[in-house]
């Protein structure tokens, strides 16, 4: 799985979101996800939202994913 594929999965699964994903080995990934739906949610809840979108891939093609999940307002500050 490539960073671009993960970005597409996230943005299609979370309408209105943006995602920037990086990886040096296409197994361990870092994602910055910005979504208005994160407003009022704790970090764990935000991460769970992203995990739900990625589904079973988290146990297979994606070995490790570090997530920074922000609202648009948090990203701008």
**Domains of the chain (ranges, CATH numbers):** 3-76 (3.30.300.90)
Average pLDDT over every residue of 49-64 = 90
> Could you tell me the pTM of the whole model?
0.93
Nearest-angstrom CA–CA distance, 73 and 30: 21
Average pLDDT over every residue of 68-74 = 97
- Of the chain, the percentage scoring pLDDT greater than 90 comes to 82
Contacts of range 60-66, beta carbons closer than 8 Å, 24 or more positions apart: 61/1, 62/1, 62/6, 62/27, 62/29, 63/27, 63/28, 64/27, 64/28, 64/29, 65/6, 65/28, 65/29, 65/30, 65/31, 66/29, 66/30, 66/31
């Amino acid at each position: 799985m490539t960073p671009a594929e993960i970005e597409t999965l996230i943005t299609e699964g979370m309408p209105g979101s943006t995602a920037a994903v990086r990886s040096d080995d296409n197994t361990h990934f870092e994602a910055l996800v910005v979504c208005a739906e994160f407003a009022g949610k704790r970090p764990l809840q935000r991460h769970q939202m992203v995990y739900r979108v990625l589904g079973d891939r988290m146990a297979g093609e994606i070995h490790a994913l570090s997530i920074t999940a922000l609202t648009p307002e948090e990203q701008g500050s």
